Every structure is written in C-alpha cells, then in structure tokens.
A and B are shown apart, each in its own frame.
Chain A
C-alpha cells in the first residue's frame, strides 16, 4: 500500500467526498466538498468515481510526500503553484509521485479550495457511507478533524495508466445567482433591492459552516427571530446585524434567522470558491432558470469522463501552461518527461 504523508498543511483542509445525506432529520448535516465539480474533476482524472474522498485544501499551501510506493494524484479547483520534486504540476491534470517524492502546493491563486484526488481513493472507515470530515459531530475518516502535519493517508499504488488532463468549461465570473425565499417576505422590497444592487465581500471569519458577508445592512420587516426551520447549502440567512451568512456544507440542519434567498445549486461551488475580500454581486433568477441551470450542471458532471484528454496530444491546455509559467517555470522549461511534449509544440491548440 502506498501512502501520502502530510509534511505541512494549512487550516481549512480536510478529507471530503460527496457527503452523507439522509440523516438531516436527526440533525446530522451531510458535509461533503465545498466545490463538487472540482472534486468530481480531480477524481475523474485519476479514474475514481466522481465523489470519492479526496483532500480538500484550503487557501494556504501544503506539502505531501509519497511513501511505500508511487502515488498518482490530480489537482482541481483553485489553481495554485504546484510541483513534484521541482516538476511543475498544472491544475486539472494528473501526475505521479514516485516513492519518496514530494508534492509542494502554494497558496490558492484563484478560488479558495483545491481538491487533491488520489488514484484508488483514501483508505478509511466510512460512517453513513462517507469519509467526509464533520469535526463537530466527530465524523470523518481516517481523521475526524481537519488534516494536520504528520497525518498519513493510505492509498493504492499508482497504476501504469497514462497521465491525463481534463477540459472544463471556463468558470463563469458573473454574479452569483439566487432564488428568493424561503423567507423573503420578512424583508421589504427596498431591502431586497439593496441585496441584489450591492457589492458584497466574504469575511475572513468564514468557514465550512457559513460564509459571513460584508456589505450594506439588510433590514428585517419584523425582527430577526423566526421559529427555526430547515436549512440547505446556500441558505442566505440574515441575523440581527443585517449582514447575511450563507450556510455552507457543515451548517446546522435548522436555523432561526430569516432566509432572504438561496444560492442556486449550479452556482454553489463557484460561490464557495470566492476568495475572502473579493467583491461580487448576487442576481435573482426565477425557479425555471435555476432548475435549468441545475440540469445543465448535472449534465456537466455526467460529461466529465468525456472531457479527459491525453497529455501526449498536441492540443495543449494553454491555461495549464500559463499556470506552470506563473509557477516560476518558463514554458520551454517544462519537463518533457512530465508533459511528454516538446517545447516546440507550445504554439497553442490546434
């Protein structure tokens, strides 16, 4: 058995998968990846089923070393500098650490969370069918808490499969779409208008339970206490100070603040990736548009295996090369053994 040993890792990094839905009626929230598309893309690259447990890595850097054998990995989600023993690793590609080699990840450059999938998944004991960490409930395996340096993740030895990259559609950068409700009638029309007309920023005090927003004060019509009712990922609850909190995968299953709107499911991962401090806007859409977007998103997830490309092919992923460049390596210095392409071929997609 190979393993990945964590030499150093920042906060907000944990093992996450598709989560454990089905027990919210008992107060157990599903948890699971903040950005399901990125989780699925990373897993698809290494031949895992899309919601296999992977390492969700927060905005800070991390260092891993392969022990006991080679480990095939893939990185998706927030882009960041990455190299294996000095060989750059592009986002949305697979790569292999030989036994003893070290993978070094820098700070997230775009987005907040990257997903490091391991070929064969992470060995652990699932609870309710999931390895996802929910620290409050004491759930998660192999460690029921965020990852720390010294932790070891057991995985399968790397296969002889060729390395891949995955072609994902460009991430939209428009406003985050919401549908009104369930308690938008607790707010006057001018408060709702202020909500969609204003710029918002995510506070640095946010976490996997909730993202606190900074912006104008959203006033309630009848005060901020309602009788608790059920929550979903993306519930936009407005507490007494008028600064909304968007509920994230480790949320409480019920909450007692009015919820003015809900982030649509297709935009939830993109919202979760919004870095703290960056200005963004919300846009209200109707249910038909939200559900059409949800169907499109499901189709995108389903299409991931068809989006795999061999790295040997000449239609290079220019974004990946730019990432490699930003990583401090000239394009023509990319290790041919990693990329299997000569620098002369770096002219663009053909």
Chain B
C-alpha cells in the first residue's frame, strides 16, 4: 500500500536544486521510487523546474529560484513522492553485444583468479544477468546498471586507471556498467561493446534511458570489429527486444 512508503528527505543542493533522497544506499526499491518520481514530474511539469537527474538513490531537481522557492517546490515534490508507484509499465529491453577478455577486457583473468573460477565462468555469469539502468552519470552515456550477481561482486581497484577504453563493460562493487567515452575508472574491465550509448548527430543521441532493461550477448573479436565499424557510421548495433 502507498501508506507504507516513507517520505524522502528534501536536501538543498544550493539555491537552485533539491536532492530528493529516498535512501543513503544502493537500494533497488529506492531506485524504483526515484524513477517513478522522475516519470511523475515529467508527466506533470511544475513551473520553474528546469531539469531532473535520477541517480541510484535520489532525484536531483534543478529549478529556477526566480520562479520557484525551495519550500513551495519541496511541498509539490513531496505530494508526488507519496503517490503509489504505478504498476510497472513495459520497460524497454536492450541486448548489448560484448567481446569479453583479452585486450577488450584486461581484468577478466584477474577477476576470475580473485573469485576462484575460470574466465569463461565469469563471462557466463555476467552475460546471464538481467540488468536495469539505475542511472546515467559522470560522463555522457556512462550507464550504471543494477542487478549484478552476488557472485561477481568485488571491491573496486586500489589504483583507478586514468584511461579506460570507450565502450568498456566493467564491474565495481554491486554494480556493472557500460561507459561510452574513454576516461578514468576504478572498476574491473571485463569486456568492450561497439554500442555507443552516446553518439552526436545520431537519432537518438542517447541510447539508454534510466529504467531500461539490459542483457549482454557475448560476441567474438571479429564480430566486435564489424559492429564497431557499423556503430562508428551511426548504426545502433544494440538490439531492442521489446518496445
């Protein structure tokens, strides 16, 4: 019942944004409420709200302080946050091809050693998962996925790498992720996808939405190379299973 939903905390992020915090932790139930509030605010726009940014545990609401005050906006948000989460709408489901290991996933062997199993077993476990886009953040298209098997959870690297390749698929803590751009990362690199989650001048520019479901399909290096050429030319490469 809706009555059992505890109210979120309204935390000021300066004078032009409110952090609506549902949990302090990575928490699937909290993330569902974040995404539900995000949809509710998109469905019934509040004057002065300029942008909403869902994360694992909170929704950041940007607003224009000339048009809305912290108190008045906070009340409107609280009213929406108390509404029951609508029955799950049909989520989009993407299948993303990944080439695991070797130069494409330089940490696969080490992860297997640490978890006392074989690289093939790590690949099988990772590719068997049914993940949900919990948030997109840090850099364009960096998609944080929830739903990582307990058997693949391990602490992040002691020394983050300053540069990891575009398209890297990695694991860190209780999460797995797909990054679009090359950049720093402290996660363990399992593989690489040709899918661009962000690509300028492509429609859509951003492929994944928070709340989308994702599964991974292992491919060989030759297939990756072909897909990479196609993706560079603007093809989406990822397969949309349901819409």
Query: How many Å from the CB of B214 to the closest CB on chain A?
Result: 15
Residues on the B chain within 8 Å of A136, using CB: 139, 181, 183
Given known A24-B53, A25-B54, contact A295–B14 (CB-CB < 8 A): no
- Count A-side interface residues using an 8 Å CB cutoff: 45
Interface string of B1-30 (1 = CB under 8 A from A): 000000000011111110101001110000
Interface string of A1-26 (1 = CB under 8 A from B): 00000000000000000000111111
Of the four ranges (under 10, 10 to 19, 20 to 34, 35 or more), the interface on chain B belongs to: 35 or more
Q: Would you list which residues of chain A between 229 and 256 have a CB under 8 Å from chain B? A: 229-235, 252-255
Q: Would you list which residues of chain A between 134 and 170 have a CB under 8 Å from chain B? A: 136-139
Assess whether A262 is in contact with B206, with CB atoms less than 8 Å apart: no
Assess whether B14 is in contact with A25, with CB atoms less than 8 Å apart: no
The count of A-to-B residue pairs whose CB atoms sit within 8 angstroms is 145
- B189 adjacent to chain A (CB < 8 Å): no
Query: Nearest A residue to B26 by beta-carbon distance?
Result: A227
- B141 adjacent to chain A (CB < 8 Å): yes
Residues on the A chain within 8 Å of B200, using CB: 127, 138-139
B contacts, CB < 8 Å to A: 11-17, 19, 21, 24-26, 38, 50-60, 62, 65-66, 69-71, 135-142, 144, 181, 183, 198, 200, 205-206, 210
Given known A25-B210, A27-B137, contact A182–B54 (CB-CB < 8 A): no
Given A230-B19, A265-B16, 15 other A-B residues pairs in contact with their CB atoms under 8 A = A26-B198, A27-B137, A137-B139, A182-B21, A227-B26, A227-B55, A230-B53, A233-B14, A235-B13, A252-B139, A253-B53, A254-B135, A287-B15, A294-B16, A295-B65
Assess whether A298 is in contact with B137, with CB atoms less than 8 Å apart: no
Query: Nearest B residue to A261 by beta-carbon distance?
Result: B14
Given known A230-B137, A253-B137, A295-B65, contact A265–B57 (CB-CB < 8 A): no
* Choice from A25, A182, A234, A266 contacting B11 with Cβ under 8 Å: A182
* Choice from A25, A229, A287 contacting B12 with Cβ under 8 Å: A287
Given known A127-B200, A264-B14, contact A228–B137 (CB-CB < 8 A): yes
Interface core residue of B12, B56, B58, B59 (most chain A CB under 10 Å):
B12
Query: How many Å from the CB of B134 to the closest CB on chain A?
Result: 10
Q: Is the interface of A mostly helix, strand, loop or mixed?
A: mixed
Assess whether B53 is in contact with A263, with CB atoms less than 8 Å apart: no
Residues on the A chain within 8 Å of B17, using CB: 230, 232
Residues on the B chain within 8 Å of A111, using CB: none
- A259 adjacent to chain B (CB < 8 Å): yes
Query: How many Å from the CB of B64 to the closest CB on chain A?
Result: 8
Interface core residue of A138, A235, A291 (most chain B CB under 10 Å):
A291
- A217 adjacent to chain B (CB < 8 Å): no
In the assembly, what is the distance between CA of A136 and CA of B142, in Å?
Answer: 13
In the assembly, what is the distance between CA of A263 and CA of B16, in Å?
Answer: 10
Residues on the B chain within 8 Å of A181, using CB: 11-13, 19
- A226 adjacent to chain B (CB < 8 Å): yes
In the assembly, what is the distance between CA of A294 and CA of B63, in Å?
Answer: 12
In the assembly, what is the distance between CA of A107 and CA of B125, in Å?
Answer: 58
- A28 adjacent to chain B (CB < 8 Å): yes
Assess whether B12 is in contact with A27, with CB atoms less than 8 Å apart: no
